């Protein structure tokens, strides 16, 4: 009889340990799934930084060096300067318009991502939207820290005043 109760106690402990491990495994499994979902969602809505944005422009419209003999355009429509032999230029793949690399990159960051001459789209709309999100985000972050600074200053000021009152 004693042996049986010992066996039952042993079985009970074993079952307990088994279920504890099972629950732990389950928790880890569920967490990995929710993490994966969260990550993919975050990736989808994550704003595009300036660096990533310029890289996307660069991938689609590579930089070349201006050659008088092969290129038909002679002036950059952004700065209105004449191209010089060997200057870094970017040719837009869709419309073949040529601009200085720096002029075009600045233009594309300020304006909507369209060709300064013919307004054809350089990047897909959703990429431009995400880049704007990033820029707006930077602005709100700045405003936030400004408010914090004002709060901190007023708090310090309050303390300072209290000492004298
Ligand atoms: Zn230019
Ligand atoms: Zn164009």
Q: Which residue has the higher pLDDT, 51 or 158?
A: 51
Q: If you average pLDDT over every residue of the chain, what do you get?
A: 83
Among 5-9, 59-63, 140-144, the minimum mean pLDDT is found in 140-144
Ligand 2 centre to CA of 45 (Å) is: 30
136 burial class (0-12, 13-18, 19+ CB within 10 angstroms)?
Answer: exposed
Give the ligand with the smallest distance to the CA of 90. Answer: 1
Give the homologous superfamily in CATH for domain 48-165. Answer: Zinc/RING finger domain, C3HC4 (zinc finger) (3.30.40.10)
Q: What's 20-52 look like in SS3?
A: HHHHHHHHHHHHHHHHHHHHHHHHHHCCCCHHH
Ligand 2 centre to CA of 99 (Å) is: 10
| pLDDT of 2 strictly over 80 | no
Give the ligand with the smallest distance to the CA of 98. Answer: 2
Give the ligand with the smallest distance to the CA of 94. Answer: 2
Ligand 1 centre to CA of 78 (Å) is: 5
- Concatenated DSSP letters of 101-124: HHHHHHHHHHS-SB-TTT--BSS-
User: 100 pairs with which residues across the strands?
Assistant: 89
Ligand 2 centre to CA of 94 (Å) is: 7
What the block records as the tokens of 58 is 């660069």
CA 149 to chain centre: 26
Ligand 1 centre to CA of 72 (Å) is: 16
Ligand 1 ion local residues (Cβ < 5 A): 76, 78-79, 100, 103
pLDDT digits (tens, 9 = 90+) for 92-121: 999 999 999 999 999 999 867 899 999 999
pLDDT digits (tens, 9 = 90+) for 122-157: 999 899 989 988 888 776 555 555 566 556 566 666
The structural domains of the chain, with segments of one domain joined by +, span 1-46, 48-165
């Amino acid at each position: 009889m004693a042996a049986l109760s010992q066996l039952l106690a042993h079985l009970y402990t074993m079952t307990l340990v088994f279920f504890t491990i099972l629950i732990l495994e389950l928790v880890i499994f569920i967490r990995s799934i929710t993490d994966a979902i969260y990550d993919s969602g975050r990736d989808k809505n994550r704003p595009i930084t300036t660096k990533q944005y310029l890289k996307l422009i660069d991938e689609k419209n590579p930089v070349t060096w201006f050659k008088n003999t092969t290129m038909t355009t002679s002036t950059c429509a952004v700065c209105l300067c004449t191209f010089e032999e060997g200057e870094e230029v970017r040719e837009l793949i869709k419309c073949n318009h040529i601009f200085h690399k720096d002029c075009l990159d600045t233009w594309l960051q300020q304006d909507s991502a369209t060709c300064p001459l013919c307004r054809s789209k350089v990047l897909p709309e959703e990429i431009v939207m995400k880049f704007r999100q990033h820029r707006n985000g930077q602005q709100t972050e700045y405003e936030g820290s400004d408010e914090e600074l004002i709060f901190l200053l007023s708090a310090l000021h309050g303390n300072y005043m209290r000492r004298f009152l």
